[in-house]
């Protein structure tokens, strides 16, 4: 089994690499080869490289780089679109168009390009898993409309792809984390603000990257073969419908 993970060197992506590499759940009896795609996190990526884990520096917002990656990689089984993030927070009247476009390129265009060039070589019966965000449904933090709406687009893309690829028995789902301490919160969230978010979580704690990767690993397994077109919320009860 061959798995491709974008943004796989840090945070949730790294946790997915480690979880899948341990071959948990139904992957336990299957050899797994993992291709990590990173862009700026070379020092973190190189630490994960092993006999069955390869690393590739690819700008997933650049069509030529994505096309070249898939032209050289060959067929694969699972694609995890984890790369993403926020560029800036600001009120709408002050938000820069440049930052808006960069946010969409990172969170939305990257998923499109990875699917555009990945779908022709993904095996029938494969899986595509997109990492979304609670912001897609909540609207996100004040000043974070670009991030929230770009992740809402990922939710919609997930459902469209699930319909498109059902005839090939390819399941497409999204995992939508709530509050998880990653580089994004490290960059943008003060300790006071982060703690205020935790106070809103019924389970009384923030999520761990392993909470997310355990679900992703399940969606990689044959146990999830009848699940497609779903956006699965995982947020400690912070968002209830």
Helix (H) or strand (E) holding 35, with range, is: strand 33-38
Half-sphere exposure of 2 (CA within 13 A, CB side): 13
Q: Alpha-carbon distance 170 to 112, whole Å? A: 16
The SS3 assignment for 24 reads: coil
Active site residues: 147
Structure tokens at 151: 């992740």
Structure tokens at 34: 């993992």
Residue 120: other Cβ atoms inside 10 A:
8
Supply the Cα-derived Rg of the chain in whole angstroms: 17
């Amino acid at each position: 089994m061959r798995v491709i993970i974008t943004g796989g060197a840090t945070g949730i992506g790294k946790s997915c690499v480690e979880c899948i590499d341990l071959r948990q759940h139904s992957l336990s009896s299957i050899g797994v080869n993992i291709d990590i795609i990173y862009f700026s996190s070379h020092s973190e990526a190189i630490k994960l490289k092993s006999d069955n884990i390869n690393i590739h520096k690819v700008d997933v917002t650049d069509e030529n780089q994505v096309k070249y990656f898939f032209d050289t990689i060959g067929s694969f089984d699972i694609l995890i679109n984890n790369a993403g993030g926020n560029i800036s927070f600001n009120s709408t009247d002050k938000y820069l168009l440049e930052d808006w476009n960069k946010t969409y390129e990172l969170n939305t265009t990257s998923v499109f390009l990875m699917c555009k060039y990945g779908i022709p070589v993904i095996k029938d019966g494969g899986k595509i898993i997109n990492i979304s965000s609670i912001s897609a449904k909540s609207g996100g933090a004040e000043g974070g409309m670009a991030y929230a709406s770009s992740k809402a687009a990922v939710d919609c893309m997930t459902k469209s792809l699930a319909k498109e690829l059902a005839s090939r028995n390819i399941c497409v789902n999204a995992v939508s984390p709530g509050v998880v301490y990653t580089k994004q919160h490290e960059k943008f969230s003060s300790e006071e603000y982060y703690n205020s978010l935790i106070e809103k979580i019924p389970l009384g704690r923030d999520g761990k990257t392993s909470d997310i990767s355990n679900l992703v690993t399940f969606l990689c397994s044959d146990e999830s073969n009848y699940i497609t077109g779903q956006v699965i919320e995982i947020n400690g009860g912070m968002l209830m419908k």
